[in-house]
Structure 1
Amino acid sequence: MSAIVGIVAAVAIIILAALTDGDPLSSLFSLTAVLIVFGGTFTALVTQFGAKSVLTAFARCKWLVKPPSVDMHAFIEQVAIWSNLARSQGALALESELESIVDPFQKQGLQMIIDNMAEEEMLPTLEAMAAHAARDDIIASEVWEAAGGYLPTIGVMGAVLGLIHVMMRLDHPAELGEGVATAFVATIYGVGSANLLALPLGARLGMLAEARERERHLIVQGLMLLKQGKSGILIRQTMQVLLSDQKKPPEAAADEAPGNALPEAA
């Protein structure tokens, strides 16, 4: 939600600055500039990424209101419960838990355990699924960051086109000032939307995508511990350590962690 507040505040500041100088609000609007800057940027993005990825980038904007996340503490407790159930009644007893799982990634992983997939096959499969999901998440960030590069350039192009139109009407001196001002509105749209919207939005979505990737890594670790038949107590202890390591700075975690391998059964 803070991202939405930031975007609205940025637009409000620009409008307030224009009104403070006594400029009419209409001076900031030009349909021609809108078509050139935003239409041109959209077509450039579709050319680079394809329509599906561009639409996905727009759809991911809902993350600004409700960022996707997994309650890792609740997941750790759930895996421990699953472990106790599987150790007492067998892996097939976990089938009754599938309907209560909302996260598709967790559900697919638990289904692999129920289907008794071999451990050496399950781990690379989960990692491949996690990598594919991470790619779907990060593409939205890449689209918005690319838009941040296109917008200023196309804004300048819009300004130049506007000046060409002005030059063709030099025989109407009274219209020159208004015409030049309108031409530079395209530059405002391009530079402003790139630096106040596209680039910050791309960076924010990238941060959320990285957080989801870290969560999936922990989910894989938990599912593999469950597959290995670890006890609920050991799963809680191991996952809590992994979770605390993720919250440390990378340098500190690298110094303290003995490695990424899962602990052997006691």
Structure 2
Amino acid sequence: MSPLIGLVGAWVFIIVGMLMKGGSIGGIISPPAAMMVIGGTTCVLIASFGMKETIGMIKLTILSLKERADTRPEVIRTLVGFSEKARREGLLVLEEDAKRVDDPFLRKGVRLVVDGTDPELVKDILETELDAMEERHHKNQKMFKQGGAFAPTIGIMATVLSLVGVLQHLDEPDTLGPAISAAFLATFYGVAVANVVYLPIANALEKMTTQESAERLLMIEGVLSIQSGDNPRILAEKLWSFLPPEARELDGDGEPAGAASAAGAGDGEPVAQAA
């Protein structure tokens, strides 16, 4: 839950620091300023991306608060298992195993191989789907990045309008202090929403896309290697090289996990599910 901890922690440090400087919680609460900044930013996003996409940002926000686990080790074990079985019994035997794979991208790749699709076509299909996924995710990230750009500007606009109203009442000096303070809250809201909400969520979504893309590239390489009949030991060596050294699983001899069994007769069934 790193994203959630980070966002909550940022607000806690900001508010506690303000309280230590003599401020108060009530002093930063301004419904009119919040309405101008949050409402204005939301409407600008609707104008830019559409109603449905903007409402979908709520779901994306919830999704971004969960840190995505690295499932590549499990995928590698699955692919090496498939390679052992295919080498021993033929590609057609993987048809039933493919049905038990949870990841739809890997399942599609294995089915294409089992159906005897040309290797270049398999690669093109999977890479096209990967590109389409990255494009969709990029659009989602762009909405939050644009929200982070719009909010501070709208906050400044709201502050200027509030100060105009304050200057129209210079004949009431007793109200100037609180009125000016309330006017500047709009700027605070705009900057805070941008830097402690929109932009961190955009970065979290971007990180998740990078992880998913890396996982799918690994799947493409594994599926094509199985189709070409690569030795399971070589496949294990190849796929574990996708991971940083500290994330690689090694056996007692310092070899990549799965390589030792692949070098032998290939006993046991492959892992049938990918996380």
Q: TM-score normalised by the shorter chain: which range applies?
A: 0.7 to 0.9
Whole-Å Cα distance in 2 between the matches of residues 27 and 156 of structure 1?
19
Provide the aligned length of Structure 1 versus Structure 2: 247
Whole-Å Cα distance in 2 between the matches of residues 189 and 206 of structure 1?
24
Cα-to-partner distance string for 1:124-159 (whole Å, 9 max, x where unaligned): 110000111122223332222211111110000111
Please state whether the residue corresponding to 2:243 is helix, strand or coil: helix
| Superposed counterparts of 1:95-114, under 5 Å | 95-114=95-114
Q: Find the counterpart in structure 1 of residue 18 from structure 2.
A: 18
Query: What is the letter of the counterpart of residue 20 of structure 1?
Result: M
- 8 Å CA contact 2:134, 2:213 repeated in 1: yes
CA apart distance, 1:63: 4.2
Q: Find the counterpart in structure 2 of residue 208 from structure 1.
A: 208
Query: What is the letter of the counterpart of residue 130 of structure 1?
Result: L
- Which structure shows the bigger proportion of residues in helix conformation? 1
Q: Find the counterpart in structure 1 of residue 137 from structure 2.
A: 137
Give unpaired runs (5+ residues) of structure 2: 248-275
1:6 aligns with 2:3: no
Moved more, 87-96 or 107-116: 87-96
Whole-Å Cα distance in 1 between the matches of residues 143 and 29 of structure 2?
26
Whole-Å Cα distance in 2 between the matches of residues 200 and 192 of structure 1?
11
- 8 Å CA contact 1:69, 1:212 repeated in 2: no
CA apart distance, 1:207: 2.4
| Superposed counterparts of 1:1-266, under 5 Å | 1-244=1-244
Give unpaired runs (5+ residues) of structure 1: 248-266
TM-score w.r.t. the length of structure 2 is 0.81
Whole-Å Cα distance in 2 between the matches of residues 204 and 71 of structure 1?
17
TM-score w.r.t. the length of structure 1 is 0.83
Q: Find the counterpart in structure 2 of residue 260 from structure 1.
A: none
Q: More relative contact order in 1 or in 2 (CA 8 Å, sep 6+)?
A: 2
Whole-Å Cα distance in 1 between the matches of residues 200 and 76 of structure 2?
33
Whole-Å Cα distance in 1 between the matches of residues 125 and 51 of structure 2?
29
Whole-Å Cα distance in 2 between the matches of residues 73 and 2 of structure 1?
21
**Aligned-pair identity (%):** 28
CA apart distance, 1:182: 0.9
Cα-to-partner distance string for 1:17-41 (whole Å, 9 max, x where unaligned): 3322333311111111111111111
CA apart distance, 1:64: 4.1
Change (3 A) 1:83 1:109: same
Whole-Å Cα distance in 2 between the matches of residues 56 and 47 of structure 1?
14
Query: What is the letter of the counterpart of residue 5 of structure 1?
Result: I
- 8 Å CA contact 2:4, 2:66 repeated in 1: no
Whole-Å Cα distance in 2 between the matches of residues 125 and 144 of structure 1?
30
Change (3 A) 1:104 1:51: farther
CA apart distance, 1:169: 3.1
CA RMSD for the aligned pairs? 2.3
